[in-house]
Structure 1
Amino acid sequence: MPNLDVNRALRDLNISYDMYVELCSGCIGMIDNFIRDLDEAFNADDIELVKSLSHSIAGDLGNMRRGLFKNYKQIEIGTGSMQELKVLSYNARNDWVVLVDKIKSIIIGLIEDEDSEQFKFNNFD
């Protein structure tokens, strides 16, 4: 799965798959909160808070061996303008949404009712 190395996480963190599933569940909620706070920091033009929250997000993603941590690390250490950092954040957020959907459906096993149609396949035999 792009942006997520489950086997590496299990090996590096020395945890069971069930524990990894629990870790993913908790991480999703925590990062969603951080991203909301990040939006508020951007709206307030608070560069220090933007970098601090990006550091927290990058750390959580890195711990789970999610490739997306590099995107938030870029925001944390970025020297560009606030507008450039917003663009980086927007792109990282889009990748995060895709990853969360995959984690929910593949790893955690949650498929929301309104999205379940996309997981049905036609049999053309």
Structure 2
Amino acid sequence: MIPKFRAWHTPFKGKKFGQEMKYGRVGTLLSFAEMSPDDYILMQSTGLKDKNGVEIFEGDIIVGQQHLTTDLSTPFEIKGVVRYSKRNTMFYLDDKSFGHDKFMNSLGSSIYQFEVIGNIYEDKELLEVAE
């Protein structure tokens, strides 16, 4: 399977104008990022989709619910940023209140129902809550 990427394009650092998420073919995005590394931040797809069918990328802010008991009315909610661990070569949910190790495998786990609610570049107001 060919990995998918998206890129945060930042041609005018510190300005609102020109900052945008770019989707496209892998070769095109990688070429742009190599030619202008200061203007593009690449994010790889996890290969997973959230409960609404939205593809989950590195840098996405997601929430997940798990029912820890048989009482389905009291779900346990986690919220964090999707990160990639080079050391463990896997994606994980970075939830500062629980630490990295507890949820290293959580993105692929079927016990959570994840939903993408934004990303760290376009939705900074969510980042304060998530991190």
TM-score (norm 2): 0.25
Q: Please state which structure has a larger fraction of its residues in helix.
A: 1
Structure having the higher strand fraction is: 2
Higher RCO (CA 8 Å, separation ≥ 6 residues): 1
Q: What TM-score does the superposition give when structure 1 sets the normalisation length?
A: 0.26
